[in-house]
Structure 1
Amino acid sequence: MIEKELLEKNNINKVNAKLYSPVTLAYLGDAIYEMFVRTKLVREHNVQVNKLQRLSIQYVKASAQAQQYRKIEKYLTEEERKVAKRGKNAKVNTMPKNAAPVDYMIATGFETLIGWLYLEEKIDRLAEIVDKAMN
């Protein structure tokens, strides 16, 4: 899986991910998850970019991420659940107009978990969780 290889070769020094705010972890997790989604879509659909963009929205919008989190929650360790809960309960200054607040909070928790796994260099686990969420 190329995403895993890219993540492993990032040359970023390992940091203690718990030192970062949940919103910062979610910011990073959003980008990491987007990379997984785009890679999956490009591999599965050789179509115009605007069609790829429309397809990607079905994975990355808050309601979809909330649903994906609910799907993978039973596979999470206690520590992973705590990280996601920190993200879910984090104070965010903006709320998208097209997302239910509860979905947005759960999606933020999902993205926080993705960002945390990445910074903790738990790349195999990250790939496993994303795969379960997207399939």
Structure 2
Amino acid sequence: MVSQIDQNSSPLTIKWQEVNILTLAYLGDAVYELWVRSHLLTKGIAKVEDLHKAAVHYVQARFQASLLKLILPELDETETGVVKRGRNAKGHHPRNIDVVTYRHATAFEALVGYWYLAGCEERMQGIFSRIDDLTVQIDSEQ
């Protein structure tokens, strides 16, 4: 359970270690989604329909799982621990995706949630800045 939060404080005062791993993934999903939408706007995509279509590619579980696979060797011990906890978390998964892929996507989202709560903005942005290059690699493998 999340510890008591001071009403006047930033969300970064929450200790990531005290947050349930699925809650960390829930937060990471929102942070990543916001980054994706902002990123697509900076690429000059202006129509909402086009933005949505492009965003779906970035946020689908299969893509997130593939992205995690590519960055896994670069992760430090703490990040790897978060990924393992996220991957092993027992939650409900959609019927349209296999459980292994879904758990790896959850692990990626938990990692993003960790970066956000731990204040690892530079680390997170460093990985995010490479996503377009990694997308080319992921798309060629699928």
The two structures have a TM-score, normalised by structure 1, of 0.86
Displacement of 1:13: 4.6
Give 1:21's aligned residue.
20
Cα separation, 2, equivalents of 1:60 and 1:13: 24
Question: Is the Cα contact below 8 Å between 2:16 and 2:118 reproduced in 1?
Answer: yes
Residue 134 to residue 110, structure 1, CA distance change in 2 (3 Å): farther
CA RMSD in angstroms comes to 1.5
Structure 1: segments with no counterpart, 5+ residues = 1-9
Q: Distance in 2 between matches of 1:63 and 1:20?
A: 25
What's the secondary structure of 1:96's corresponding residue?
coil
Count of equivalent residues? 125
Does residue 54 in structure 1 map to residue 53 in structure 2?
yes
4+ aligned runs moved over 6 Å, structure 1: none
The answer on whether the counterparts of 1:17 and 1:116 sit within 8 Å (CA) in structure 2 is yes
Distance in 1 (alpha carbons) for counterparts of 2:12 and 2:83: 23
Q: Does 1:84 align with 2:83?
A: yes
Q: Is the 8 A contact 2:12 2:118 kept in 1?
A: no
Give the corresponding residue for 1:7: none
Deviation at 1:74, TM superposition (A): 1.2
**What is residue 42 of structure 2 aligned with on the other side?**
43
Q: Structure 2: which 5+ residue stretches go unaligned?
A: 1-8, 134-142
Q: Provide TM-score, normalisation by structure 2.
A: 0.82
Percentage of matched positions with identical amino acids: 36
Question: Which of the two has higher C-alpha Rg?
Answer: 2
* Structure-1 separation of matches of 2:76 and 2:27: 21
Larger relative CO (CA 8 A, sep 6+): 1 or 2?
Answer: 1
Aligned-residue offset at 1:134: 4.2
Amino acid aligned to 2:40: L
